[in-house]
Amino acid sequence: MDFHDLLFRYFGSAEIDAMSPSALEAGLDRMHVDFGLETNAGHRFALWALMHMLGDAPDLDAFEDAEEREAARRFMDLADGAG
């Protein structure tokens, strides 16, 4: 999943700063639904990572697989270190 493709799919724009609060909320709601329905681990992780960057990711318990939870933890650590 490409970052810009995700932005267009869920928010209709690649410009996060230009989004209205209601568009951001609606896109995040759609992402949460798709995250719950997605069966591909890579796609689920991409959705989760974008939600995390936008400050609205599900808890790590949303990943049933221990390796996926650990990957999400590492991503959080890297993202927090970059900020």
Distance CA 32, CA 30 (A): 5
What distance lies between CA 4 and its chain's CA centroid?
12
**Do 58 and 51 meet the contact criterion of CB atoms below 8 Å apart?**
yes
Q: Tell whether the model's pLDDT for residue 73 goes beyond 90.
A: yes
- Closest of 71, 47, 72, 50 to residue 59, by C-alpha: 72
Per the structure block, which two tokens stand in for 49? Answer: 């990572």
**What is the per-residue pLDDT across 15-66, written as a single tens digit (0 to 9) for each?**
888 889 999 999 999 999 999 999 999 999 999 999 999 999 999 999 999 9
What integer pLDDT is reported at residue 83 of this predicted model?
Answer: 59
Element containing residue 28 per DSSP (H, E): helix 21-37
Provide the whole-model pTM. Answer: 0.89
Domain boundaries, the chain: 3-82
